[in-house]
Amino acid sequence: LRRTADDKVACLNRAGIASDVVVGASGRPRVQIVGNDPERALGTRCDLAALDSPTRSERKALDALTELADACLKRQGREGVRLNNDLSWGDPAPVAMPGEP
């Protein structure tokens, strides 16, 4: 991931956009664009989304944590969630209902 982040920073620098690699508390690197207009990177060919996808081990951990969270929510009569990399959650995870395909 660090090598990918370094490559993205080099790409942005070639496009004239100052940026740095910042390592979060989890140890996961991310690209931080210097200045107050981070959306200017959208017009480049530097695919920053490559760093947004979880690795295989991160996906496994997120799936396990999602299962635990869903079990807790189910006990409270609530719908399940889908945990994101930053541990925020999105739309409820699809749940098969009895009698439905």
| Per-10-residue mean pLDDT, the chain, length 101 | 94 92 88 83 83 88 92 91 80 53 52
CB atoms inside a 10 Å sphere around CB 40: 14
Q: Which of 68, 51, 62 lies closest to 84 in space, CA to CA?
A: 62
Which pLDDT score is estimated for 98?
54
Q: d(Cα 81, Cα 48) in Å, to the nearest integer? A: 26
pLDDT at residue 77 in the model: 92
pTM: 0.64
Question: Residue 76's pLDDT is what?
Answer: 92
Quote the pLDDT of residue 2.
93
